[in-house]
């Protein structure tokens, strides 16, 4: 790899760069936090001319890594004032390629780079996900290079990382000498392009071209969401840090009082010893070690005040350590990372922070004032989630349940009540805007219905208010809302509906509905007797996997599944088709907003829900149009959406009636 050492050399290079149809980019950086303190220290770029790889490294912020130095910038760096010329050259390249490309874009963004709205952004790791047969494949560039190009070619990564560790530079790539990092960067660029060629051929061979093209468009959409970020209420975050810390101290003392000893509550071993001294046993074993587990499921099955206190302690500590303190490190807005390569089904994943996992929980710092009705609902919900039989829950468990990862059913966030804490309350629209939440109604059930091809059911699904779970309860067990058993049978219908999609076994179903194994089998048989096409579809999926080892979803995304796990095929098809529909509509919404010169932007995707930030003056025009775009048919079955306004925060959505444009 040629290292660019002068502004003249750079200028000569940029003339050549601007003429390329595609360029691979790889940034070397001072760390992994582009939206906080870290910046690029150098940029590698490459392209192939025939069989030859042309590659270059441009150093900008390399420092003297010697132990006795003050880590000053080295003389070989180019001046930062040359960066705009580099960005101008990139602006003329139609296709920008990278491995985890959005990370590189974020680093370059800090120094002024802005991809064009029509730039083709090709993230090679997305293609890697589409082509890998193993759910647990190593999707790192090193891992894929070793698997497809040879272990010898992948050795460069381990050798360079060992060199960094030896010099204690693992967290400071900018300390590495330029002549050491340039060859490493060259291999990153070259192998990324080699792998892209392999993947694109496989994508064509497996008829996934449509999905691959959509993923490229989605990468651009996700990049725009990430670079915009979502605003947060710093004052609210700061106001809860102290009370959360105080509540943790109170709970510590309560736990010590109940156990009559002081110990490290976070230590599973010490907790196990304390629980044993109290005569309390865990009914759950660790899958890895076989030792007693003290997780949520185990604690919920223990009828003792200390169990609820420990759950509340853990939940409160998580609120403080995972949400309220970390968010204050963000300067102005939070910039999450959305991964369209994060799951095998095609569903989006999110990290740093994971906004898809921000629970709807509303926690009360004033202690346990949960009503019996809400407690019963929480108990049932958590019992189903954790797979434990919730036959007896003491009042002291209430606080723990509301912190256990389940929505506090029946509760509503009140901004005026200082004792209430909600993570979603942290996220707010920018000044002059509102959050608009567009949520697909029972999406996976509707997609499942589309697969089973029940004509009578398909006709009913044209009604946007149609409730799939209620319909099943009425059809299979001949009950309605007037029956005393209505709540049970609708819950039963919901458990079986999702159980079929997620491929759960009979034991898990029995646990969820809190019935015997034989009763669960009877209910499931009754279900299939009234919906025989559901059984036919599930059986067909399993047999297809067993015979050929793969299936494809509605849009051609392929899933390779081990025959021993054929039961998961229905989940892949339903979840994957749902995900690809949402992705398609995200791209359509993004394009429509840009074409019409609007300021409304997408903020977050939470699986079946998309959150927009809409200026007041655009609401009347934009919201009906967004509803229209989201409801545009992608499959035979109608997929209706519900619209809510999040004001003044994400924690306080208010449903509104909207007629699609």
pLDDT in tens, 177-187: 999 999 999 99
Could you tell me if residue 42 is inside a domain? yes
Parallel, antiparallel, or unpaired for β 120-123 and 420-421? unpaired
Same domain? 69 vs 180: yes
Q: Which domain holds residue 191?
A: 2-205
Element (H, E) at 257: helix 234-259
Number of domains in the chain: 4
The predicted structure's pLDDT at residue 134: 80
Mean pLDDT confidence for 531-540: 95
- In this predicted model, which residue has the larger pLDDT, 406 or 146? 146
The predicted structure's pLDDT at residue 4: 98
Q: Inter-axis angle of helices 178-205 and 141-148, to 10 degrees?
A: 60
The predicted structure's pLDDT at residue 18: 98
Same domain? 499 vs 595: no
Same domain? 437 vs 385: no
The predicted structure's pLDDT at residue 411: 55
**DSSP-based three-state secondary structure for 486:** helix
The predicted structure's pLDDT at residue 45: 98
What are the phi and psi torsion angles at 153 (to 5°)?
A: -75, -25
Could you tell me if residue 28 is inside a domain? yes
Nearest in space to 266 (alpha carbons), one of 276, 280, 277, 252: 252
Query: Which residues, at least 6 apart from 658, have a Cβ–Cβ distance to it below 8 Å?
Result: 623, 624, 627, 643
- 115 close to 105: Cβ distance less than 8 angstroms: yes
Same domain? 390 vs 459: no
Rounded to 5°, angle at Cα 270 from 266 and 276: 125
pLDDT at 406 over 50: no
Same domain? 421 vs 540: no
Same domain? 77 vs 183: yes
Q: pLDDT tens across 42-79, in order?
A: 999 999 998 899 999 999 999 998 887 889 999 999 99
CATH number of the domain within which 102 lies: 3.30.420.10
Could you tell me if residue 448 is inside a domain? no
Query: Which residues, at least 6 apart from 97, have a Cβ–Cβ distance to it below 8 Å?
Result: 22, 23, 24, 25, 122, 124, 192, 193, 196
Q: pLDDT tens across 427-463, in order?
A: 999 999 999 999 999 999 999 999 999 888 989 999 9
Q: pLDDT tens across 109-165, in order?
A: 999 999 999 999 999 999 999 999 887 789 999 999 999 999 999 999 999 999 999
**The residue count for the chain:** 661
How far is 204 from 127, CA to CA, in rounded Å?
A: 11
User: Cis (ω within 30 of 0) for the bond into 648?
Assistant: yes
Same domain? 261 vs 192: no
Could you tell me if residue 496 is inside a domain? yes
**DSSP-based three-state secondary structure for 427:** strand
pLDDT at 290 over 80: no
How far is 253 from 251, CA to CA, in rounded Å?
A: 5
| Span of 172-176, 286-290, 354-358 with lowest mean pLDDT | 286-290
Confidence of residue 419 (pLDDT cuts 50, 70, 90): confident
Same domain? 415 vs 469: no
Q: How many CB atoms lie within 10 A of CB 287?
A: 7
Q: Tell me the whole-structure pTM to 2 decimals.
A: 0.91
Q: What percent of the chain has pLDDT over 70?
A: 93
pLDDT at 400 over 70: no
């Amino acid at each position: 790899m040629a290292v660019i050492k002068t502004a003249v050399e750079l200028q000569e290079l940029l003339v050549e760069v601007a003429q390329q149809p595609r360029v691979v980019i790889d940034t070397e950086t001072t760390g992994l936090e582009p939206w906080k303190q870290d910046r690029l220290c150098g940029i590698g770029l490459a392209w192939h001319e025939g069989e030859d790889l042309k590659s270059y490294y441009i150093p900008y912020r390399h420092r003297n890594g010697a132990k006795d130095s003050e880590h000053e910038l080295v003389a070989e760096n180019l001046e930062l004032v040359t960066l705009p010329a580099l960005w101008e050259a990139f602006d003329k390249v139609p296709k920008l390629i990278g491995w985890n490309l959005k990370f590189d874009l974020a680093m370059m963004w800090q120094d002024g780079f802005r991809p064009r709205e029509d730039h083709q952004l090709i993230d090679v790791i997305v293609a890697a996900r589409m082509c890998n047969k193993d759910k647990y494949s190593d999707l790192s560039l090193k891992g894929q290079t070793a698997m497809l190009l040879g272990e010898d070619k992948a050795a460069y990564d381990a050798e360079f990382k060992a060199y960094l560790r030896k010099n204690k530079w693992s967290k400071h790539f900018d300390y590495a000498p330029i002549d050491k990092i340039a060859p490493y960067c060259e291999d990153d660029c070259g192998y990324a392009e080699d792998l892209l060629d392999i993947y694109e051929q496989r994508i064509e061979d497996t008829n996934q071209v449509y999905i691959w093209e959509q993923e490229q468009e989605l990468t651009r959409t996700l990049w725009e969401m990430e670079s915009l970020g979502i605003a947060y209420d710093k004052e609210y975050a700061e106001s809860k840090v102290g009370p959360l810390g105080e509540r943790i101290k109170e709970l510590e003392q309560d736990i010590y009082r109940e156990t009559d000893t002081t110990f490290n509550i976070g230590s599973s071993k010490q907790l196990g010893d304390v629980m044993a001294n109290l005569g309390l046993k865990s009914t759950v074993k660790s899958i890895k070690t076989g030792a007693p587990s003290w997780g949520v499921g185990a604690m919920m099955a223990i009828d003792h005040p200390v169990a609820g206190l420990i759950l509340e302690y853990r939940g409160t500590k998580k609120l403080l350590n995972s949400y309220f303190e970390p968010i204050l490190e963000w300067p102005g807005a939070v910039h999450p990372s959305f991964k369209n390569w994060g799951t095998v089904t095609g569903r989006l994943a999110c990290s740093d922070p994971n906004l898809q996992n921000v629970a709807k929980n509303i926690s009360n710092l004033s202690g346990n004032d949960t009503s019996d009705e809400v407690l019963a609902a929480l108990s049932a919900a958590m019992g189903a989630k954790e797979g434990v039989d919730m036959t007896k829950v003491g009042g002291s468990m209430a606080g723990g349940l509301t912190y256990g990862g389940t929505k506090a059913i029946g509760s509503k966030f009140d901004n005026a009540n200082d004792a209430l804490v909600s993570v979603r309350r942290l996220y707010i629209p920018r000044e002059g805007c509102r959050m608009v939440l567009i949520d697909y109604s029972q999406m996976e059930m509707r997609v499942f219905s589309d697969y089973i091809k029940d004509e009578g059911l398909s006709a009913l699904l044209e009604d946007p208010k149609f409730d799939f779970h209620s319909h099943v309860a009425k059809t299979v067990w001949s009950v309605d809302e007037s029956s005393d058993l209505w709540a049970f049978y609708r819950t039963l219908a919901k458990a079986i509906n999702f159980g079929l999609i997620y491929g759960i076994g009979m034991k898990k179903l029995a646990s969820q509905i809190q019935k015997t194994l034989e009763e669960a089998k009877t209910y499931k048989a009754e279900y299939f007797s009234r919906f025989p096409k559901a059984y036919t579809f599930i059986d067909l999926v399993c047999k297809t996997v067993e015979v050929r080892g793969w299936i494809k979803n509605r849009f051609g995304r392929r899933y390779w599944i081990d025959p021993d796990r054929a039961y998961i095929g229905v989940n892949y098809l339903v979840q994957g088709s749902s995900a690809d529909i949402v992705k398609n509509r995200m791209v359509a919404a993004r394009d429509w907003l840009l074409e019409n010169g609007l300021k409304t932007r997408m903020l977050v995707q939470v699986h079946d829900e998309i959150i927009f930030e809409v200026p007041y003056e655009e609401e009347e025009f934009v919201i009906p149009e967004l509803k229209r775009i989201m409801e545009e048919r992608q499959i035979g079955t109608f997929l209706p959406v519900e619209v809510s306004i999040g004001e003044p925060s994400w924690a306080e959505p208010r449903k509104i009636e909207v007629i699609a444009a």
